[in-house]
Chain A
């Protein structure tokens, strides 16, 4: 298998996860990289992407894997045929399926446009209650792992996968408390097993 790290930016942050899968499939076909197919009744190419990044959130740290026998320079071949903003950053051959959807447990983001506040005192809060898109409320404080300000950007690390916290939702809650309007959110790092 080939595990690869890629970015989703430069307009591609508006492409949905389902469409992204189609684009990766087509990119590989254009690049002449033959992907193995599943053996079920509805055959599908064995392309595995990590958890979806919310629409509008740019990412410099996405991971995926494909089942393909390809010995050449995957990055070069992929990037020559991929749409704008979906570019491979690194790759490696692996014996086993890395299952990034499970193995990545936290991600770091940077957001622009949130008013400055005392980030050191943030964790002294009693909790951080959010209402998700389905109207359920939860205290997500334990899912916020780190928070700091760097110039005009708020940098934060959130849990991912199980006990996931969406960065866009987090930002809108923070804006609700401290003011501001988010202009840009970008995922800069992913943490967990198998990342490289």
Chain B
């Protein structure tokens, strides 16, 4: 890569001063890695297709970059510039550059995009375009372009992005990403032999080596070529790579605090939750490791808050021990945040910062019947008990998350939402309290996701969702604040989550129509998307329909190690209203027994 093409920030002064939060684009963060170009013969840039404040809060890209550094390779970062700066770069003819080295993205050997949500896909194209890199694999073929890679949770159904991405990383990225770099070096670039060799690794999917045939009715007819890609799995999380230094962002980020990854995976297996299946089995870090990492992070960042992250931190068996160990070893002013507590594991004693007044619970559904159908495995009693202990600990605001359009949902379930709100209100006013209760309810539209028991389900249509939202608006007790999400973005999310390769041209057309930052309500361009679907002659509705159980699913060649028959069985149990419950209470036989510590299959 050399040092020839570095972008001189001084030359961008005029543009920077015209843009909101220019410190997003200048680098120099305290604790940021200082990559050396060409170190270890490989230059990697972790790319996050959303704003700096969002991307700098993401733990995954830090872990991936660290795994390259550990092998002595060069690793840098890049985030999607806001439209003001992106437009300015394009106008000035300056290519998108990496943060630390200020090197144009096109000079790297590999760009690794993190796919956290479907609505960030256009931003990936936006970043490639700003970098001056052709968007599609076909256009790049034969040229000297960086290897375009992508990973993260959305990569479990890589097909909608297959036109654009050379290599997908499926599953844990701690080691396989850098393995691919070593093989790239060995072959002197992205040769045919290189692709053939990496496609043999667990966790690597090369879309060029897999063909998809479609039937006339629009279903996938046949998947050929490489037809099985196993997810990469890190079995020992305690020994896995973890950055003990975080770059402290120049401007306030959405999660401006030190983050510990307490566990990966979740015991619960809620049937709507993709993360609950694709991150199986549950792997934990030890109290000792977490305490050491927390102390290092606080020392190296100067943050005054440590967040204990996982899908369900209350299920970490030694949570009490962890909290007291952290309190003992960290400076006294450092507060702990427990962002993912289930209502059944909440205790007032966990109340952390006296200034915090709001607490969020996610019952997801309004009645016990529906909660059982989605395997949420939580009772109304537990929700009310959690609310009461929160109120007794001084909280005066509660936010409840629900989903609309869940399979088997009826009006009774909506009325259940209203009933829970009534009960919580009654609970609050049963005792004399200092402040008035603030109760808010947030309802999202259910999006069926691949690798969940609901992967075959239809998404509820717009009229149904609207009618249900209206019912809540009319019936929720007075004083409860209701917020809901727009339908069209949820439809897009559902189409791309369960989409196939044919969506590539829609995505490109949407980008050409000016769609970027689709996850941002204020920037969402519905007309651009509608026009893109129309122009490509594709309806999003073919992707959100119910799938037949004997149908070839577009992601059938990806193996996340959870058996399809287990998912089907779980779907049956949903219809029968049967709770399966937590893996911690006994193995349910999802297919990962061999790798699962809870099932006795691994250490």
| Interface residue ranges, A against B (CB under 8 Å) | 10-12, 14-16, 18-19, 22-23, 25-30, 37, 42, 55-56, 81-85, 168, 181, 183-184
One of B23-31, B343-351, B512-520 contacting the partner? B23-31
What residue in chain A is nearest B25 (Cβ atoms)?
A14
A68 CB to nearest B CB, Å: 13
User: If A29-B304, A56-B17 touch, does A82 touch B30 (CB 8 Å cutoff)?
Assistant: yes
CA distance A26 to B300 in the complex (A): 10
Complex partner residue of B13 from A19, A37, A84, A184, CB under 8 angstroms: A184
Check A26–B252 contact: CB distance below 8 A. no
Residues of A within 8 A of B248 (CB): 23, 26, 83
User: If A15-B23, A16-B21 touch, does A30 touch B301 (CB 8 Å cutoff)?
Assistant: yes
User: If A14-B16, A22-B252, A84-B28 touch, does A29 touch B302 (CB 8 Å cutoff)?
Assistant: yes
B602, CB-defined interface residue at 8 Å: no
B303, CB-defined interface residue at 8 Å: yes
Check A11–B251 contact: CB distance below 8 A. no
Check A11–B301 contact: CB distance below 8 A. no
User: If A19-B251, A56-B13, A184-B13 touch, does A83 touch B29 (CB 8 Å cutoff)?
Assistant: yes
What residue in chain A is nearest B9 (Cβ atoms)?
A11
Q: What are the 5 A-B residue pairs with the smallest beta carbon separation, nearest first?
A: A26-B302, A84-B28, A83-B30, A29-B302, A30-B302
Residues of B within 8 A of A25 (CB): 302, 304
Scoring B residues 579 to 603 as 1 if CB is less than 8 Å from chain A, else 0, what string do you get? Answer: 0000000000000000000000000
Check B250–A19 contact: CB distance below 8 A. yes
User: If A14-B250, A19-B252, A30-B299 touch, does A56 touch B16 (CB 8 Å cutoff)?
Assistant: yes
Residues of A within 8 A of B355 (CB): 42
B93, CB-defined interface residue at 8 Å: no
What residue in chain A is nearest B355 (Cβ atoms)?
A42
Q: For residues 350 through 365 of chain B, which have their beta carbon under 8 Å from a beta carbon of chain A?
A: 355
6 A-B pairs with CB atoms under 8 Å apart are: A11-B9, A12-B28, A22-B252, A26-B30, A29-B304, A183-B13
Residues of A within 8 A of B13 (CB): 56, 183-184
B437 CB to nearest A CB, Å: 21
Chain B count of residues within 8 A CB distance of the other chain: 29
B98 CB to nearest A CB, Å: 14
Check B251–A15 contact: CB distance below 8 A. yes
What residue in chain B is nearest A32 (Cβ atoms)?
B299
CA distance A83 to B252 in the complex (A): 14
B330 CB to nearest A CB, Å: 11
B49 CB to nearest A CB, Å: 23
A83-B29, A83-B248, A168-B17 are known; give 18 further A-B pairs, CB within 8 A: A10-B28, A11-B9, A12-B28, A14-B16, A14-B22, A15-B251, A16-B251, A19-B23, A22-B252, A26-B248, A26-B303, A27-B302, A28-B302, A29-B331, A56-B13, A56-B16, A81-B302, A85-B28
Scoring B residues 25 to 68 as 1 if CB is less than 8 Å from chain A, else 0, what string do you get? Answer: 11111100000000000000000000000000000000000000
Residues of A within 8 A of B304 (CB): 25, 29
B2, CB-defined interface residue at 8 Å: no
| Interface residue ranges, B against A (CB under 8 Å) | 9-10, 13-14, 16-17, 21-23, 25-30, 248, 250-252, 298-304, 331, 333, 355
Check A16–B302 contact: CB distance below 8 A. no
Complex partner residue of B22 from A42, A56, A83, A184, CB under 8 angstroms: A56
Residues of A within 8 A of B27 (CB): 11
Check A83–B10 contact: CB distance below 8 A. no
Check A184–B10 contact: CB distance below 8 A. yes
Complex partner residue of A11 from B26, B252, B302, B303, CB under 8 angstroms: B26
A77 CB to nearest B CB, Å: 13
A114 CB to nearest B CB, Å: 14
B172 CB to nearest A CB, Å: 31
CA distance A12 to B301 in the complex (A): 17
CA distance A178 to B156 in the complex (A): 61
Instruction: Name which of B21, B23, B299, B302 has the most chain A CB atoms within 10 A of its CB.
Output: B302
What residue in chain B is nearest A25 (Cβ atoms)?
B302
CA distance A23 to B250 in the complex (A): 8
Residues of A within 8 A of B16 (CB): 14, 56
B103 CB to nearest A CB, Å: 16
What residue in chain A is nearest B17 (Cβ atoms)?
A56
User: If A183-B10, A183-B13 touch, does A83 touch B23 (CB 8 Å cutoff)?
Assistant: no
Complex partner residue of B300 from A12, A23, A30, CB under 8 angstroms: A30
Check A26–B301 contact: CB distance below 8 A. yes
CA distance A193 to B25 in the complex (A): 36
CA distance A130 to B25 in the complex (A): 31
CA distance A25 to B13 in the complex (A): 27
Residues of A within 8 A of B251 (CB): 15-16, 19
A48 CB to nearest B CB, Å: 18
CA distance A13 to B523 in the complex (A): 29
User: If A19-B250, A26-B301, A29-B304 touch, does A14 touch B26 (CB 8 Å cutoff)?
Assistant: yes
CA distance A105 to B427 in the complex (A): 58
A45 CB to nearest B CB, Å: 9
Residues of B within 8 A of A22 (CB): 252
Check A84–B252 contact: CB distance below 8 A. no
CA distance A184 to B250 in the complex (A): 21
B510 CB to nearest A CB, Å: 32
Instruction: Name which of A30, A85, A184 has the most chain B CB atoms within 10 A of its CB.
Output: A30
Residues of A within 8 A of B250 (CB): 14-15, 19, 83
What residue in chain B is nearest A12 (Cβ atoms)?
B28
What residue in chain B is nearest A168 (Cβ atoms)?
B17
CA distance A27 to B304 in the complex (A): 12
CA distance A19 to B250 in the complex (A): 7
User: If A11-B9, A26-B303, A27-B302 touch, does A55 touch B26 (CB 8 Å cutoff)?
Assistant: no
Check A84–B30 contact: CB distance below 8 A. yes
A10 CB to nearest B CB, Å: 7
CA distance A140 to B23 in the complex (A): 30
CA distance A42 to B251 in the complex (A): 22
CA distance A183 to B14 in the complex (A): 8
CA distance A15 to B302 in the complex (A): 18
CA distance A181 to B13 in the complex (A): 11
CA distance A63 to B118 in the complex (A): 47
B324 CB to nearest A CB, Å: 22
A58 CB to nearest B CB, Å: 10
What residue in chain B is nearest A57 (Cβ atoms)?
B17
B253 CB to nearest A CB, Å: 10
CA distance A113 to B46 in the complex (A): 37
CA distance A37 to B26 in the complex (A): 32
CA distance A56 to B17 in the complex (A): 7
Residues of B within 8 A of A27 (CB): 30, 302
Residues of B within 8 A of A37 (CB): 333
CA distance A16 to B26 in the complex (A): 13
CA distance A147 to B33 in the complex (A): 43
CA distance A84 to B26 in the complex (A): 11
Residues of A within 8 A of B25 (CB): 14
